Chains A and B, each alone.
Chain A
Amino acid sequence: MYQYDQYDQRLVDERVAQFRDQTHRFLQGELTEDQFRPLRLMNGLYLQRHAPMLRVAIPYGLLSSRQLRKLADISRRYDKSVAHFTTRQNIQFNWPRLEDVPDILAELATVQMHAIQTSGACIRNVTSDPLAGVCPDEIEDPRPYCEIIRQWSTLHPEFSYLPRKFKIAVSGAAKDRAATQVHDIGLQMVKNDAGETGFEVLVGGGLGRTPIIGQTVRPFLAKADLLSYLEAVLRVYNRFGRRDNKYKARIKILLKETGIEDFTRQVEAEWAHIRGQLVLDTAEIERVKRHFTAPDYQPASAGTLETQATAEPRFDAWLRNNTTAHKIAGYRSVFLSLKPRGVPPGDVTDAQMEAIADLADRYSFGEVRATHTQNLVFADVNQDELLELWQRLATIGLATPNIGKATDMICCPGLDYCSLANASSISVAEDIYSRIDDIDYLHDLGDLRINISGCMNGCAHQSVGHIGILGVDKKGEEWYQLTLGGSSSNDASLGERLGPAVDKASVAEAVETILQTYIELRHDDEPFLDTVRRLGINPFQERVYAHH
């Protein structure tokens, strides 16, 4: 993975000093709330319901075991020994003290980490495919470009006070695991007719209040033009994006109000001016690429895995569900489920983080990846070691065979932590979990994405959940709106509203009814999403609201 050079390190160190000064001035009363807010947000710091929340960047989801140990250490010293993985491959601490945040940032800087631009109206931490560099369906490894974008966007002097937040995702594989269609800019690596690799550029996707699928503004962008094109899009947005209403300030609204043709014309006109001035040099691409070389893969023995799987059905279930194909024969990528029963989705303890770091060193070349579905990945595991790894993961509660299944829910912190929440999400997830906890039932349900957000901001991406659950406030009570049929993958679509919101006591039952209806109506092994798309929402609606 990428290692800082002296310049990267110096910048992060100087940033820590800057934030220490800003926090000090705020506590001294030299900065007002209004002045401090954008500054602290650009360092990932929220002032929440109970305590500040600090969001630390995990650039494109990549962590070393050393970094993970540091996060464990921070959670123990400055928090309640817990941390929370987010839907943007970042990690959050929910209980630090404001006074301690500069020290936490200084600790992070010792392991080449930071909290720069994890919040605020600026270019956010870039996200990517958690299987980047190892999946068999890859056109090119997107991580070097993610790192180049990370550096370009860090403390960008022109684009640090945008109308609103700005999220970029990069995918290099045929299957989109980075949700590029629901980002402000989605970059999808493609090959052109001449056989060169470049980027398809999508703009204007986004979730939240007004979910919209991104549109292609440029079908092919050469690598040399990557930064100039990003700069052109950002400049058009910074100048013309709405600033009068924060709910209309995302680039998706600018694109909608301008129209895709006019918007594209503006971007291309801007780009024509700067294209020659800001060229991404091949030498720089090559330099960064050298940080993402393949580890020392070893051959695996033939046949062992099959024998082991036959002998141990629980291992077999885990193997089939929580591991995936690797581009190197004899290797698999392993998902660590952060969705066991009874734990808020995405939460890990300090002890777990340390154990994961040890396992990463032992089984996966010392690296861990965070996924946008709030799980973790060991990307490079030799299949001879899978059984042992499974046993060890099971002892720390991270081997639940539910990756991509109904209990692998994406869930925001909701009313329990978030000051913007209308309703709780964690307890709803727990209610649903309790009804589908049977492993055979879970696997019979097949691939299912249930996403639960505690308010319209949609941090848990409920509008692209196969089943989306959105907390709303009705006269001070927690109610939930259900949607069906969303997806953030290649076939991206927004879920359709099922009907009136249901109260908290009825949500889990409604979900159960939806799942029952699916089982009755599906054709053979038709996945949930396909059944919904084939039949529309009516049959589900009729059943859920039958008694209302």
Chain B
Amino acid sequence: MPIIKNGKIVNDTWHHLADDEPASAAPCTVSVARWLREKETLVAHGGALGLRIGGGDRMEEFVGDLDQFPLVVVEFPSMVDGRGFSVARLLRERHGYQGELRARGTFILDQVFYLWRVGFDALEFAPGVALEAALPRLQEFSVRYQAAADEPRPIYRQYAR
């Protein structure tokens, strides 16, 4: 399935494992609950492993494991559930997560700019969204008042005003 990654449309090979679905050797992501339950077996399964986080997951339970995951997926169960915006900034700015940080869910084009600003570098839209239309939205605004994951300086340090 195509996703946006690093500003380009690419084909994605990751599989999001349901909690009761057996892990194969292919790259797959698991929920935080499953990760906490089956750490040892999952590490042993051999393939690349990613973590899927929901806005309600307790971060202190998994932040120590972040360097095991080349991919972290933050779920957006609805477009108005904005918890993922905070989760992303915390992962990038506080916990120094450097791998692929992917937003996944029902957000819309008009949120892409914010998603990019808080540190996502990959976007997995719900099926049916024309990804070409999302690309220009990564830079929808040329002015950024706030510091965030993409720009550590608030506006008054970006420019001599």
Name the B residues within 8 Å of A278 (CB-CB): 147, 154
Task: Give the docked Cα–Cα distance between A11 and B155 (Å).
Answer: 12
**Minimal Cβ-Cβ distance residue in B for A281:** B156
Name the B residues within 8 Å of A283 (CB-CB): 156
Name the A residues within 8 Å of B80 (CB-CB): 38, 121, 161
Q: Spot the interface stretch: B8-16, B33-41, B108-116.
A: B108-116
Task: Give the docked Cα–Cα distance between A278 and B110 (Å).
Answer: 27
Q: How far is the CB of A246 from chain B (nearest CB, A)?
A: 10
- B-facing residues in A123-162 (Cβ within 8 Å): 151-152, 154-162
A238 interface hit (Cβ, 8 Å)? yes
Name the A residues within 8 Å of B143 (CB-CB): 7-8, 10-11, 14
Q: How far is the CB of A328 from chain B (nearest CB, A)?
A: 30
A341 interface hit (Cβ, 8 Å)? no
Whether A277 touches B152, Cβ cut-off 8 Å, given contacts A5-B161, A7-B159, A157-B113, is yes
Q: Spot the interface stretch: B44-52, B63-71, B81-89, B96-104.
A: B81-89
- A-facing residues in B136-161 (Cβ within 8 Å): 140-143, 145-148, 152, 154-157, 159, 161
Asked whether, in the complex, the Cβ of B118 is within 8 Å of the Cβ of A158, the reply is: yes
Asked whether, in the complex, the Cβ of B85 is within 8 Å of the Cβ of A238, the reply is: yes
**Minimal Cβ-Cβ distance residue in B for A239:** B86
Asked whether, in the complex, the Cβ of B82 is within 8 Å of the Cβ of A238, the reply is: yes
**Minimal Cβ-Cβ distance residue in B for A32:** B108
- Chain B interface size range: 20 to 34
Name the A residues within 8 Å of B146 (CB-CB): 152, 156-158
Name the A residues within 8 Å of B142 (CB-CB): 10, 14
Q: How far is the CB of A37 from chain B (nearest CB, A)?
A: 9
Name the B residues within 8 Å of A239 (CB-CB): 55, 83, 86-87
Task: Give the docked Cα–Cα distance between A154 and B155 (Å).
Answer: 12
Asked whether, in the complex, the Cβ of A157 is within 8 Å of the Cβ of B118, the reply is: yes
A39 interface hit (Cβ, 8 Å)? yes
Task: Give the docked Cα–Cα distance between A273 and B89 (Å).
Answer: 13
Task: Give the docked Cα–Cα distance between A277 and B159 (Å).
Answer: 17
Q: How far is the CB of A224 from chain B (nearest CB, A)?
A: 12
- Total CB contacts across the A-B interface at under 8 A: 92
- A-facing residues in B1-26 (Cβ within 8 Å): none
Task: Give the docked Cα–Cα distance between A14 and B144 (Å).
Answer: 12
Name the B residues within 8 Å of A38 (CB-CB): 79-80
Name the A residues within 8 Å of B81 (CB-CB): 161, 243
Whether A31 touches B152, Cβ cut-off 8 Å, given contacts A158-B89, A238-B83, A239-B86, is no
Name the A residues within 8 Å of B140 (CB-CB): 14, 18
Asked whether, in the complex, the Cβ of B86 is within 8 Å of the Cβ of A155, the reply is: no
A434 interface hit (Cβ, 8 Å)? no
Task: Give the docked Cα–Cα distance between A227 and B156 (Å).
Answer: 13
Task: Give the docked Cα–Cα distance between A287 and B83 (Å).
Answer: 34
- B-facing residues in A511-531 (Cβ within 8 Å): none
Asked whether, in the complex, the Cβ of A277 is within 8 Å of the Cβ of B114, the reply is: no
Map CB proximity to B onto A151-180 as digits: 1 under 8 Å, 0 otherwise.
Answer: 110111111111100000000000000000
A223 interface hit (Cβ, 8 Å)? no
- B-facing residues in A270-284 (Cβ within 8 Å): 273, 277-278, 281, 283-284
Asked whether, in the complex, the Cβ of A158 is within 8 Å of the Cβ of B85, the reply is: yes
Task: Give the docked Cα–Cα distance between A39 and B110 (Å).
Answer: 8
Asked whether, in the complex, the Cβ of B86 is within 8 Å of the Cβ of A235, the reply is: yes
Task: Give the docked Cα–Cα distance between A161 and B143 (Å).
Answer: 20
Task: Give the docked Cα–Cα distance between A39 and B93 (Å).
Answer: 28
Asked whether, in the complex, the Cβ of A155 is within 8 Å of the Cβ of B145, the reply is: yes
Q: How far is the CB of A435 from chain B (nearest CB, A)?
A: 45
Asked whether, in the complex, the Cβ of B145 is within 8 Å of the Cβ of A154, the reply is: yes
Q: How far is the CB of A203 from chain B (nearest CB, A)?
A: 17
Query: Could you list 26 A-B pairs, sorted by A, with CB under 8 Å?
Result: A7-B143, A7-B161, A10-B142, A11-B145, A14-B142, A15-B141, A18-B141, A35-B79, A38-B80, A151-B155, A152-B145, A154-B145, A156-B145, A156-B146, A157-B114, A158-B118, A160-B85, A162-B82, A238-B85, A243-B83, A273-B94, A277-B93, A277-B147, A277-B152, A283-B156, A284-B156
Chain B residues close to A by CB (< 8 Å): 55, 79-83, 85-87, 89, 93-94, 108, 110-111, 113-114, 117-118, 140-143, 145-148, 152, 154-157, 159, 161
